[in-house]
Structure 1
Amino acid sequence: ACPALCTCYVSPPTVSCQANNFSSVPAGLPPGARRLFLQNNVIGALRAGTFGPSTVTLWLYSNNISSIQPGTFRHLPALEELDLGDNPHLRVLAPDTFHGLHRLQALHLYRCRLASLPSGIFRGLRSLQYLYLQENGLLYLQDDLFADLANLSHLFLHGNRLRALSEGVFRGLSSLDRLLLHAHRLAAIHRRALGGLARLTILYLFNNSLVALPGDPLAALPALQFLRLNANPWACDCRARPLWAWFRRTRVSSSAVPCASPPHRRGTDLRHLRPRDFDACPDDHDDDED
């Protein structure tokens, strides 16, 4: 039977209950359903035992979810896509919320006002390819948060409030192709923060608070093809030399990199500085650390 106010389809087995003002997941979901569409309701809580083990696709975006009972997703071995995005009351996640989702390929947690993510939250998600964490209130990311995500190709982190990237924050992301880190407050990137991202082709760092990139962190990205660094307060003094030198030896397609200081170079593109602009700089400046 199909729950009241929902529409059910036979092939593939689908239950569509979106945009019906449901305040809880409707009772009587067919146990064999593979696709469950519950988006655009006012569901406030998720409870264990609600979803059947055949579920492959579960859309819960644009609800009022504020709590997820432990074990809600534990017995969903077939789940490949879970969309919890645009749930602005979902501010805390238990460390084991997603444990056991070994087939999960896409996890959407955008616009949920998550100020932090607990250690181990992504443990065991070895099939994950797409992770959407944009437009939360994330203030920091601890080292090894993504350590198990060896198959992740796309990581969307833009529009949060990160101020720094530590050495081990992206450890384990050996398949990452796309990393979006624009629209933060990033002022510091550890010189080894991007180490190990051997397959990264696209990196967005625009609209941050970066003045310089000490220690040449971009040198660890051999596959990089496209880079955006605009809308940062770049200092085009001696601190710019490692980045300028990196641009000279790479063929990466890049946005403009306008200087913000010193005053006589304001508006100049950092990439277009000349060797003589660094004549007064000490020779060892490339190795300086913040």
Structure 2
Amino acid sequence: MRSRMNIIISSGLLMTLLGSCGTSTSCPSGCSCNVNHTDCSDLNQLASLDSILDQLPFDASYLNLSNNNFTTVEPGSFSNFSDLLHLDLSRNLLSVVFPSSFSHLNKLQVLDLSENLLVRLPINLFSGLNSLTELVLRDNRLKELNPDQFKGLTELRRLDLSFNSLCSVPTHLLDGLQNLVWLSLMGNKLKTLQRTSLEPATALQQLLLDGNPWNCNCNLIPLKHWLEWIAYTGERGHLSKIFAYLSHLKHSDHQTNLNITQR
């Protein structure tokens, strides 16, 4: 009897130890941890991301870390959170990210990095995020994007690049994004936009372009003709309305009416 009891106790202890090695079930003070939903937003005293991640449930599918003071996402920071579907890092002070900052997040569907201080993104930052459907980069300080920045994001449907400092859209930036239906380039520093930059996004239905200092010259003529054709055929839903917008552009600074016409 004693021998059997020892085995049972030992087995229970073993299971406890194994469980503690593979998961975290605690919830830090100020956070809310309900089932698979973890919310650690608005804890402004938090400056180190890694210091809190080790205290969170690793089985969370939704993780809200917005409105804190995080400045850096170290490589592999979320390697224990392989079940994450939604990650919110908005309204922090992020200025440094690494190619493997979001590695192992194969199931991630939504990534919100809006309202941070990002100036440049590593080329492979989003590599491996094969399930991503929504990427929010709004309100950062991005000046340029690599043509391969979003390579491999074949499931992406919504891409928000609004209110950055982008001066151009690389020709191959949207290559492979055949499921992209919504794209915002509002509030950047775009003066022109090449038709070839948009053509790869064959499912695109909504395109937001206002708030840019457009230079309406011959460089926009190919885009104008392409959008005229879309407006005529109506083949892309809401995108057919973009031509009407581009035809009556108003410069946000000089309040000058700009018409895209052949000159």
- Shorter-chain TM range is 0.7 to 0.9
Q: Extract unaligned runs of 5+ from structure 1.
A: 9-13, 16-32, 228-249, 282-290
The normalised TM-score by structure 1 is: 0.69
Alignment partners' CA distance in 2, 1:251 and 1:162: 23
2:237 to 220, 225, 239: 225
Per-residue CA deviation, residues 96-150 of structure 1 (Å, 9 max, x unaligned), is 1111111101000001010111110011111111111001000001101111111
Q: Provide, for residues 62-120 of structure 1, a one-character-per-residue CA deviation record: whole Å limited to 9, x for no partner.
A: 00011233221012111000000000x21111111111111101000001010111110
- CA, structure 1 residues 260+184, in 2 after alignment: closer, same or farther (shift >3 Å)? closer
**Structure 1 CA distance for aligned equivalents of residues 178 and 90 of structure 2:** 26
Pairwise CA distance, 1:6: 4.5
* Partner residue of 1:79 out of 73, 84, 104: 84
Match status 1:192 vs 2:192:
no
Residue in structure 2 matched with residue 175 of structure 1 by the alignment? 179
CA distance in 1, matches of 2:96, 2:248: 39
- Alpha-carbon deviation of 1:184? 0.6
Match of 2:36 in 1: 34
The whole-number CA distance in structure 2 between the counterparts of 1:44 and 1:207 is 33
The question of whether the paired residues in 1 share the 8 Å contact of 2:31 and 2:41 is answered with no
Change (3 A) 1:167 1:2: closer
Confirm or deny that 1:46 pairs with 2:49. yes
Q: Secondary structure at the match of 1:122?
A: coil
Say if 1:192 and 1:136 are closer, same or farther in 2 by CA, change over 3 A: same
Q: 1:133 aligns with which of 137, 140, 147?
A: 137
Identity %: 25
Judging changes above 3 Å, is the alpha-carbon distance between structure 1 residues 255 and 4 closer, same or farther for their aligned structure 2 residues?
A: closer
1:257 aligned residue: 247
| C-alpha distance in 2 between matches for 1:199 and 1:139 | 26
Shift of 1:166: 1.4
Aligned residues: 224
| Aligned counterparts of 1:199 and 1:156: Cα–Cα separation in 2 | 16
Choose from 216, 223, 232 the match for 2:222: 216
**Equivalent residue letter for 2:85:** E
Instruction: Give the Cα–Cα distance (whole angstroms) in 2 for the partners of residues 162 and 127 of structure 1.
Output: 26
TM-score w.r.t. length of structure 2: 0.75
Name the structure with the higher helix share.
2
